[in-house]
Amino acid sequence: MMESSRLIRRHPDDLLVGLVSISDRASSGIYEDQGIPGLQQWLNGALLQPPQFATRLVPDETEAISAALVELIDAVGCDLVLTTGGTGPARRDVTPEATLAVATKEMPGFGEQMRQISLKFVPTAILSRQMAVLREIDGHAALIINLPGQPKAIRETLEGLKDSEGKSLVPGIFAAVPYCIDLIGGPYIETREEVVKAFRPKSAVRAPKV
């Protein structure tokens, strides 16, 4: 049994993040998981308020992945769940199916943009079936996003592509995450612009605190 203690929001803007690394080899100890540490490091650097994390390392099994997603959202209370791994065409790659099985809405724009970004790095980006969905339950909703398994792909996808001066060439998908979390009733999150500039329509931007 997985332990599922609910994360407690210390502040209304506290973001509760679930991280799920999906890898047969990392989950069986053949190699060390780099997915969860990579995601934690990126989020701690990108967000103005460091989030609270709940993490799970699971094999490429549909039921285990779906169970981890449900547990992180329904029992732990996460607002955002990022998965890494298992999005390719290999027989054991089942992360998109396991994600869809727990979804109430599909968010196809994320998958479209992730493949666009990844194509700037590797021509095999079209092999990734990664998707994003919402899971809406009584009184709570969460965004789930599938990222590729290669540790370096985590940053590439979330942050996008920049030129040598740091100017954004292709926006990373994280630019749209804060507004999506607003719209599903989650906390108001702010990012470090030098890592990724969050976009919100003017009417949704909160006045700076004085």
Ligand X SMILES: Nc1nc2c(c(=O)[nH]1)N[C@H]1C(S)=C(S)[C@@H](COP(=O)(O)O)O[C@H]1N2
**No. of helices (H) and no. of strands (E), the chain:** 7, 8
The pair of structure tokens assigned to 93 is 């790659």
Q: Which does 125 bind (CB under 5 to 8 A by kind): ligand ATP, ligand X, none?
A: ligand X
**Region of 12-20, 86-94, 96-104, 170-178 interacting with ligand X (CB under 6 A):** 86-94
Q: Within positions 102 to 141, which residues make up the interface with ligand X, using CB under 6 A?
A: 118, 121-122, 124-125, 127-128
Taking the C-alpha atoms of 40, 150, 116 and 131 in order, what is their torsion angle to the nearest 10 degrees?
Answer: -70
State the greatest distance between any 2 C-alpha atoms of the chain, in Å, as a whole number: 55
- By the rule CB under 6 A, 85 interacts with ligand X: yes
Least Cβ distance, residue 68 to ligand X (angstroms) = 16
Instruction: Report the first-to-last Cα separation within the chain, whole angstroms.
Output: 47
Q: In terms of Cα–Cα distance, which of 39, 31, 79 is closest to 56?
A: 39
At 64, is the secondary structure helix, strand, or coil? helix
- By the rule CB under 6 A, 77 interacts with ligand ATP: no
How many chain residues are in contact with ligand ATP, going by CB under 6 A?
17
**Site of interaction with ligand X (CB under 6 A):** 85-88, 93, 118, 121-122, 124-125, 127-128, 148-150, 153, 156-157
**Site of interaction with ligand ATP (CB under 6 A):** 21, 23-26, 31, 33-35, 60, 85-86, 88, 90, 149-151
